Chains A and B, each alone.
Chain A
Amino acid sequence: MPEIHLVGVAALLTLSVIVLLAGRGRNLTLVVYGCALVISLVLCGGATMRLLMQSPPSSLALPIGLPWLGAHFRIDALSSFFLAIINFGGAAASLYGLGYGRHEREPLRVLPFFPAFLAGMNVVLMADDAFTFLLSWEFMSLASWSLVMAHHREADNIRAGLVNIVMAGIGAFALLLAFGVLAGPDGFYAFADMRTHAPAPLAAAAVLALVLFGAGSKAGLVPLHVWLPLAHPAAPSHVSALMSGVMTKVAVYAFIRVAFDLLGPPAWWWGVPVLILGAATAVIGVLFALVHTDLKRILAYSTIENIGIIFVALGLSLGFLASGFAAAAALAMTAALFHVLNHSLFKSLLFFGAGAVITATGSREIGQLGGLLNRMPATGLFMLVGCAAISALPPLNGFASEWLAFQAILLSPSLPSWALKLLTPAAGAMLALAAALAGACFVRLFGIAFLGRPRTITSAKAVEVDRFSLTAMGGLACLCLLAGIFPGQVIDALAPVARATTGAAMHPQAAMPWLSIAPIAESRSSYDGLLVFVFIVSSALLAAFIVHRLASNALRRAPAWDCGFPDADPITQYSAESFAQPVRRVFSSFAFRARAQVDMPPPGDLRPASYTVEWVDLSWAVFYRPVVAAVAKMAYWMNRMQYLTIRQYLSLVFAALVFLLLVLASWA
């Protein structure tokens, strides 16, 4: 089975190389995205089949790479779940790219790297030794960096690319060290050997910290998230969808692979840092999403929030697993995986919608949009579904996974450790806060961009996008609804993954009557997405029918009322900044030190009045600036080394030699 996937990956890589070598064709865009679509669909189908048929793990070793190691590949339930997600995201992005890619001014800056990026992510998920894993991880990072730099002439993109590559480098370095510790002094670089040699407690702690750093920086855990809202929006929109919806999931995979699989049985406190980081990430991510006004940056910050939710569920799962509650661990793990799936669906959908808005209006600032629902009805409808799904509204899919996460939290009083016992309700409160803030964030996004009156001429003249893009968005919107009203089927499909990672699984949900789901027992909690959906739709239709039939159905269009003072100028509408002002004010003190300055010139002064809002991302001030300053200072000191005499250099070499010999002597 890995053979087929490797052939697919090879095909993707070949596609890249061909485009690089002979990229002059007229229909190149069509060919590349068409091929990528077909390959991704095949790979996704293969992985889904494996998952649903619960195939046993299969592995393959190829004599490439390091001579004494070779390259090991293995596909088990965990990798096939993530392979399915990644290739589905890849297929959706390719389909969208068929239409969206035509607007690309310099297609050769995108086309060669797109299949390579997909191939890189695929290999990471199949890798079964540290060397292959890190190599493909770096390949994936580099390919995504090339895509971020596709529009390198735009103002902020150079900085985005720089921060991206630096953070990717640091993250990969942390993962390298993590695998180094896991491999131990005997050099067990194959994952199969790591599984049999669980590290000592101290080493395991080091590995957990390093992998949280390495995978967390790629996933966007606070405070390692700073590169993400810069880099993800800089890429073309379908690539942003891949990076946000899919590549962050590869990082989640890396964390699950190491923490649940390679690191051996967990200690009780492993869940603690994961829970804290996850909860902080969820709230801080969505708070920043609420104050930004760049459409794609809002979505990138919301990715950070969702990663936080996933990590909260993973932390819970670790805590349960360490305390021996396998069933509860399986529930939390299922919630995390379900949210991984959901986020990949709605975040891809939302980024596609953002791309459609950019195509139609040329603007990413939601303050320059407005009224797009009338101009782009289909895109608007799909975006609405995406916004409702990500705000965790029933009966859509986002609610189902958050509901599972809450059910897992409600099981935690049985945990023996006090730290976890006190942390989980706080994490639950943070999760609820993040969900409510996400609702506000997406009301703002959709309300400002798609509702109201057009704020600029370009948004008043926007036209609907092409069919390929609409098909991709429509398909994802349907899946958001389907996964929401049939959560039991999704949970059952995730059972083998939960069993592979936690040793248990939620009991089969498909057998429940009326397609409802009940994580523990029906008397405890149950939810039925399908029935809720049917109830809402039927009572809405019933109410509309009765009112139209028995009362009045007359309708008249008139100017807006607005308490008698309607203003024709669309600039008098509520803006993105003014919508966020109450929330910014309530949460500013602890999250972003927002300061508003009002400059009101006195009467007679013709200067325009101004209202400026400033806020800071504290993680820059607290974590990055000091590091950058320290590096600069050290570089300044090291600068002296350039101007030594030859004698001084020779004595330095001699001192280094003596030092190394001393180390060697003391080692034995």
Chain B
Amino acid sequence: MIGDLSGLVGEFAIQISQMLLVLLLAPLLTGFVRKVKARLLRRRGPPLLQPYWDLAKLARKEAIVAESASWLFRGIPYLVFAMTWVAAALVPTFGTGLLFSWSADLIAIIALLGGARFFLALAGMDVGTSFGGLGSSREMMFATLAEPALIMIVFTLALIAGSTQLSTVAEFMLSPDVGLRISLALALVALVIVALAENARIPVDNPATHLELTMVHEAMVLEYSGRHLAMIDLSAQIKLLLYVSLIACVFAPFGLAPVAASFSAHMFGVVAYVGKLAFAGLMLALFETSVAKMRVFRVPDFIGVALMLGLLATLLRFMSRGF
């Protein structure tokens, strides 16, 4: 776990730079997706850096809190941000040599995201409005299917790589003995579906909606304003980045710097990572502009597909090591 001192310092530096990187890149990814979507619709779209200006503006504003809100309402944005950020800090982005990667494995990362959702849903119910409850209720309904699907994906990955540690999984995926596997393909499709659902993207939810009855995530955070809303928005952006990093580090790990790699390897890792983010953002924008949003009660079928695929992949792995 802990080698000599210089290795420790190096891993610590990687850990810290990774934490800052995800924090800094998260709004950019969201801005990029928005921009590409706008271009695809032949609009000019907001500037690439607009999410940063939005966050800064929100953070400077006075926070308006409903009279019926409890103390929990004011604490939850920071808690949700912390849980999401800690989870994102443990997913390898440009290098696997993270100092604290052993403190939480993939199951714990999923549970951390589940914790963030748990508290966000509570915040939706805190003010006591109908929209907040509606958002929380639907979000939890989606989660009841998305979370087991994620666990099944984790099972598949863990059975292939022999570990639930994300760094070990990534290193295994980098090694030549991975090969093409049916279970991996199924897991990838399932993970993409879950990522769309968890990040409130089309076809599950519309991040740009202003029609109250169609929204889920936005309904939940409707009562937030000012710095609280900034924290919530930032958490949502980090969560999107986290899922992209997760998919990238498991299914497209090239460029990922292994433990104790050189500085240049890490720099290459950063460049590769930014490239992967751009590709993922492009794909997301393309996908979102080409499908329509679903009715709420079609969504369980959609996420159910992910659950079934995940279960199938796990079963295949249980049947034989060849799949």
Contacts and interface: CB of A to CB of B under 8 A. Distances in A.
Contacts of A541: 78
Contacts of A412: 318
B147 A447 contact: no
Interface string A423-440: 011101100110111011
Interface stretch (B156-164, B174-182, B184-192): B156-164
A371 B72 CA distance: 11
B140 A583 contact: yes
Interface string A496-535: 0000000000000000011010100011111110011001
Interface in A134-164: none
A563 B151 CA distance: 36
A443 B141 contact: no
Interface stretch (B41-49, B114-122, B200-208, B243-251): B114-122
Nearest to B74: A555
A513 B126 CA distance: 40
B72 A451 contact: yes
B168 to A, nearest CB: 5
B67 A557 contact: yes
Contacts of A556: 62-65
Contact of A422 (B129, B226, B296, B318): B318
A392 B61 contact: no
B111 A394 contact: yes
A579 B138 CA distance: 8
A135 B41 CA distance: 77
A559 interface: yes
Contacts of A536: 79, 82-83, 86, 112
Contact of A562 (B56, B115, B131, B146): B131
A436 B310 CA distance: 16
A403 interface: yes
Contacts of B145: 436, 586
B62 A513 contact: no
A536 B100 CA distance: 13
Q: Please report whether the interface of chain B is mostly helix, strand, loop or mixed according to DSSP.
A: helix
A433 B148 contact: yes
B165 interface: yes
Contact of A440 (B132, B140, B148, B317): B140
A552 B226 contact: yes
Given A439-B114, A514-B103, A551-B60, A410 B130 contact: no
Q: Please report whether the interface of chain A is mostly helix, strand, loop or mixed according to DSSP.
A: helix
B144 A437 contact: yes
Contact of A559 (B66, B158, B225, B311): B66
Given A393-B115, A581-B137, A407 B164 contact: yes
A528 B99 CA distance: 13
A21 interface: no
A432 B152 contact: yes
Contact of A451 (B63, B128, B151, B168): B128
A388 B115 contact: yes
A531 B100 contact: yes
Contacts of A582: 137-138, 140-141, 296-297
B59 A524 contact: no
Contact of A452 (B68, B108, B314, B319): B68
Interface string A564-584: 001100101110001111110
Given A543-B82, A573-B128, A586-B300, A552 B311 contact: no
A437 B59 CA distance: 34
A393 B127 CA distance: 23
Interface string A109-131: 00000000000000000000000
Interface residues of B, number: 92
A579 B136 contact: yes
Given A443-B118, A447-B122, A552-B61, A558 B67 contact: yes
A413 B317 contact: yes
B1 interface: yes
A73 B126 CA distance: 53
Given A393-B111, A540-B79, A583 B131 contact: no
Given A403-B107, A536-B82, A374 B70 contact: yes
B155 interface: yes
Nearest to A574: B133
A410 B141 contact: no
A98 B225 CA distance: 45
Given A443-B125, A582-B296, A425 B311 contact: yes
Nearest to B55: A551
A523 B161 CA distance: 11
A516 B105 CA distance: 11
B111 A399 contact: yes
Interface size class of A (residues with CB under 8 A): 35 or more
A325 interface: no
B105 A527 contact: yes
Interface in A578-600: 578-583, 585-586
A644 to B, nearest CB: 60
B94 interface: no
Given A388-B118, A528-B102, A560 B144 contact: no
Residue from B2, B115, B122, B140 having most chain A Cβ neighbours under 10 A: B140
Contact of A436 (B63, B144, B231): B144
Contacts of A392: 111, 114
A403 B103 CA distance: 13
Residue from A442, A514, A526, A572 having most chain B Cβ neighbours under 10 A: A526
A548 B59 CA distance: 9
Contacts of B155: 406, 409-410, 425, 428
Nearest to A583: B141
Interface string A372-383: 011001001000
Contacts of B217: none
A563 B213 CA distance: 11
A457 interface: no
A559 B82 contact: no
Interface in A345-385: 370-371, 373-374, 377, 380, 384
A537 B115 CA distance: 13
A563 B131 contact: yes
B78 to A, nearest CB: 4
B165 A524 contact: yes
B318 A425 contact: yes
B32 interface: no
Given A524-B165, A543-B231, A562-B129, A574 B136 contact: yes
Nearest to A556: B64
B227 interface: yes
Given A429-B307, A432-B147, A452-B126, 13 more contacts: A377-B71, A384-B72, A394-B112, A421-B318, A422-B318, A436-B145, A516-B102, A525-B158, A543-B231, A556-B64, A574-B133, A583-B141, A586-B145
5 contacts: A535-B103, A536-B82, A547-B230, A560-B223, A574-B130
Interface of B: 1-2, 56, 59-68, 70-72, 74, 78-79, 81-83, 85-86, 89, 100, 102-105, 107-108, 111-112, 114-115, 117-118, 121-122, 124-134, 136-138, 140-141, 143-148, 150-152, 155, 158-159, 162-165, 168, 212, 222-223, 225-227, 230-231, 296-297, 300, 307, 310-311, 314-315, 317-319
